[in-house]
Each structure stands twice: as structure tokens, then as C-alpha cells.
Amino acid sequence: MQRRLHGFTLDRRRLLLASGAVGLAPVSRIAAQATPDAEVMDELVIDLSGPPDHLTPALTYSVRDWSILHSIYDSLLDFGPEGDLVPLAAEEFSTDDAMTFRVRLREGMTFHDGSPVTTSAITRSVRHIQDAESQISDLYSVITEVREIDDLNAEIVTSEPSPWLPAQIAVWGVLFPESATDESLATAPVGSGPYIFESWEAGSAITLRRNPDYFADSPKGTALAERVVFRFVPEAATRVADLATGAAHIIAEVPADQIDAVESSGHVALSAPILGTAFVRIATGVEPFDDPRVNRALNHAVDVQAIADALVGEGANRLASVFPDPRGLGFDESLEPFTYDPDRARELLAEAGFEDGFDAEFEMVAGSRSDVVESIVAYFGDVGVRVSIVSSELAAFNQGWPDDSAPPLRYATWRPFYDPQSFLGLVIHRDGFLSRYENPVAAELIDDGSVAPSAEERAAIYHELGRELQENPAAIYLWNLVSTYGVNRDVTGWRPRGDEYIIPVRPPVAEGA
């Protein structure tokens, strides 16, 4: 099926086959023009919940950092509103066998330093990730070669079928010019995206200005403002006050309790389901978590839906396993989540020999959702599991993923989840870089899923994996993520994205929308 979309030819079937999202994602129809009333504001201020340590693309792991990164850079591909992959810097992106990915770049694109975007940027991007000590380097190691056929045409070649690769490229594979150095990547990024990096006030703000040469029909969207300031405001109440007083135009992470405060100040609270999953990771290599009955008991012990309703907000639903959303591959609607059943939890604990419960440690990122963690811990207490909470700084928390001496329980969220391979390969596979889950059956299913040629086959394998993850839980499965933003009433055309990035652009209007 060849479709012609705003001037470029896209082999959508092949592209979606590669992304693994086919069959589950409704096809988004992107109109050629941005909204007609596209006026550009002078300045737009966005409050994020914290500052990045650096902006090195390979070492960036959080949504709030990706918001800045993807405002400055473009990848070859981007996620459309329904989880489908759309070509961004690429004009065409296709594959027949998920081993050779043909790329044709858009003509006439330039980096912010004036140099043209050519296929050498693809090579640089792949090398940057392969050479960095990045969580994603392992996944990128399947790329054996980038064949630069000419300035605009290239082939990305992998050593084994890698249908999940395009979704990773959309997140990580940003293009940067030859002039970039390790230093400039970390602190003064130069990309080809809708905004040009201007300045960075350590700990407080990053300022960008509009890229006047950015292509008008970008599926990412067109710039909302001449100048954008990302500010870092850790307290949600302060972000809400910033919105109310006009000091910020878009604010991230509005807690459910403060939606009324946003609306009563005359502004707009926008909630959107994110393709992401919340969970309490269980390290199954240590006692008593080496007994699956204990881990099933913990899943029964927590009234996940009650916490979701009270603390997360509308649209957050208890998950049956790690797969969060029908828009992403692997979600199985027929698989029922664990029930909240403290009696069953006590029974399972007694069967496992822990009728008096046990003591354990539970790690969380300092300053993150302590209410969620405290609530889960209180439910554990009801079935006799006594848990003490350890707060760690984000960097220490991230280093602690594979650490055998770290607390066996940790609250975490993971997104984007368009293609589950990065999560499954890193966190669930027993050999994963971040894994403490010992399950050879799951590992084999993940291996099979990563090379299965069709999305249907992959989905079937992941459904089986979902059932295995219920039988032998790798986590306490919580809910699909829902993010709420506060938006100034005068800002028109901005929309939440499924990957939760806050990119200050006006995305193209979907046809029929």
C-alpha cells in the first residue's frame, strides 16, 4: 500500500511492519498544513519538574530531558498521535526483512550550524549510541553497518531481524552535525529540529529560539513561539502557581488533586494517556522473592485500582502485566489483571512459608511520587509485609537497576512503550542490562519476539509472555501512565503526545479531526 503524504512517498505497510505497531494502531491521517491560525508567540515558558544533568542523547533517559532534546533535534522517525511511526528527517523509511532498513532523507534540510543534513549524520548517530555507555547500546549493537549510498540515501543493516529497531531510532537516533563534540552534545546541542539552543542557566532554565529554516510540513509540527524557556520547578504547587500567575504557559505533571486549582485559575488542564507503564520491580534473585507465590501475593495485596483512582487520575487502569496500552505492541485485552484480594495474598504467603510476613526494602527516586509508594507500602503492611522506604537520587537509582545489593523492590515507570523491546530486553530479560529477573522462559520468549518477522507473530509471543509474567511476576503491575498538563488559555494548538514529551510545537491537524 503506497500512500502519498504531503509530498513524500511512504510505504506505510512496510514501515509499520518494521515498527511492530501494525494492526493495533489506527492509521493517522496527517494533513499537509498546520492549523490555519498558526500565529507564533513571542515567548513561551514551560515548567518541567526538574533539570537535566546533561543533554547527551545516548545518555538521556527521562521524558523531561527528551522534551528539550526533541525540541532541538529531529530523529529519522517520530511517533504519530496513535502510536504509529511517521518519517521525520527521513522522507522514506522502509524494510522488507527487518534487517536492511532503507532511508531516504528529506532534501534541503540543514542543521542549526548551517551544514546540510546528509546520511553521514545517520552514521554519527548510530556510532554515538554504540560507543556510549548507554542503556540502549546493547540494543543498537545489532546494527552492523550504515551504508551511505549518497548524501540522501542510506541503508541501516542489522545482524538479525530487528523489527523493533525503528521505534528505538525514533527515541534515540537524533541527528547532529559533524561539528558536534562530546562536550557540545552534553551542554550546547546543535540539531536540525524546530528550535535552536540558545543558553543554559544551570539548574534553573534552558532557552531555545525558533529555527526559521525548519520545514513547514514537519509531522512533528511548527514552532509555537519565537523563544521558548524550559524552567525547572520541582514542586507541583509552584508550577500550578506559575501557570495561574502567567509566569508559565505550559506546566508538566499536574497532580490529580490540583486539576481543580488549574481550572479555577481560568486555564486548561489536559490529561492524556501515555504509552507507559508503572510498576514495582521485584528482584527475583533474592529471598523471599525467588518464590513466585510471594510475588503473586504482593500483586494481590495492593488495591492498585483504588490508588490509581485516588492518586493518578481518570484513565489510569490496573494492568495485567507490563504492557500498558492497545496503541503499543503486546497489550492483551483478554488477560485479566490480578484482583485485590488480601486474603488470597495471606494464603499465598503462608503457602510460601511466610505466614508472619517478612521485612524488605523498597527504593524510590527522591522527590517522585512518595504518596504512591507510601500507599503501596501501607497495603503491604495489611498482609504482614513490613517494608522500609529508601529514597535515592535519580542517578543513584538508575545505577542501582542491576545492583544485587540494592533494595529488591523499586517503584519505577517506563515510557515510551510503542515497541516493548527496549523495556523487555533491558528490564525483563535475565541478561538485560537493568534486569534482576530470573526467568529463562520469559527470556526465550523475549528473544523470539525480538526476531519474529511479523507484528502479528510478535504480538502473539508477547501475549504468551504476558501470561508468563502473571504466573511468575517480575513486578507488581500497576497502571498505564496518565499525564496531566496545565496549559495557559491563550496557547492554542499545543497537544499532549503519547510519549509525554512536551515539545513546544503546533502539530499538524489529523484529517477529519
Partner 1 sequence: MAEQPLALAPVVESTPPAPRRVRTIRRPIPGRGAVRLIPLALLLALGFLVPVMLPQSPSAQDLSARLTPPVWFGGSWEHPLGTDGLGRDLLARIAIGARSSLIVSAVAATGAALIGVIAGIAAGMIGGIVDRAITMLVETLLAVPFITIGLMITATIGQSMTSLLILLIATGWITHARILRLQARSLIHAGFVEAARSYGASRTWIALRHIAPNLAPAAIVVLFQQMGSMLLWSASLTYLGIGLPIDHVTLGGIVREGQELIYTAWWVSVFGGLSIALAVAGFNLCADWLRHRLDPTLR
Report the interface residues with partner 1, using CB under 8 A: 235-237, 240, 255, 257-258, 260-261, 303, 306-307, 309-311, 366-367, 370-371, 373-375, 377-378, 381, 387-391
* 362/418 with CB nearer partner 1: 362
* 99/478 with CB nearer partner 1: 478
Write the DSSP string, 58-72: GG--SHHHHHHHHHH
d(CA 102, CA 104): 7
Say if CB 75 and CB 19 are below 8 A apart: no
Q: Which three cell numbers stand for residue 379?
A: 497495603
Full strand arrangement of the beta sheet holding 90-95: 90-95, 100-105, 153-158, 143-148
* 27/366 with CB nearer partner 1: 366
From the CB of 388, what's the least distance to partner 1, in Å? 6
- In the DSSP assignment, the letter for residue 219 is S
* 412/426 with CB nearer partner 1: 412
Name the helix (H) or strand (E) containing 306: helix 304-307
From the CB of 97, what's the least distance to partner 1, in Å? 51
* 267/429 with CB nearer partner 1: 267
From the CB of 350, what's the least distance to partner 1, in Å? 23
From the CB of 62, what's the least distance to partner 1, in Å? 19
From the CB of 372, what's the least distance to partner 1, in Å? 9
* 307/319 with CB nearer partner 1: 307
Q: Which three cell numbers stand for residue 277?
A: 507503564
Please report how the helices 370-382 and 292-301 are oriented relative to each other, as an axis angle in degrees rounded to 10. 110
SS (H, E, C) 440-493: HHHHHHHHHHHHCCCHHHHHHHHHHHHHHHHHCCCEEEEEEEEEEEEECCCCCC
From the CB of 240, what's the least distance to partner 1, in Å? 7
Amino acid letter at 238? T
* 316/352 with CB nearer partner 1: 316
* 58/373 with CB nearer partner 1: 373
502: three-class secondary structure by DSSP: coil
Cα of first residue to Cα of last residue in the chain, in angstroms, is 23
**Residue 327, phi-psi category: left (phi > 0), alpha (psi -120 to 50), beta (remainder):** alpha
* 31/311 with CB nearer partner 1: 311
From the CB of 362, what's the least distance to partner 1, in Å? 9
Q: Which three cell numbers stand for residue 365?
A: 527516586
Nearest to 368 by CA among 347, 398, 341, 343: 398
* 32/306 with CB nearer partner 1: 306
Whether the CA torsion 392, 396, 401, 407 is positive or negative: it is negative
From the CB of 340, what's the least distance to partner 1, in Å? 12
From the CB of 476, what's the least distance to partner 1, in Å? 17
Say if CB 290 and CB 469 are below 8 A apart: no
Residue 169's contacts (CB-CB under 8 Å, 6 or more residues apart) are 75, 76, 77
d(CA 494, CA 221): 9
Give the pairing of strands 268-282 and 409-414.
antiparallel
From the CB of 379, what's the least distance to partner 1, in Å? 8
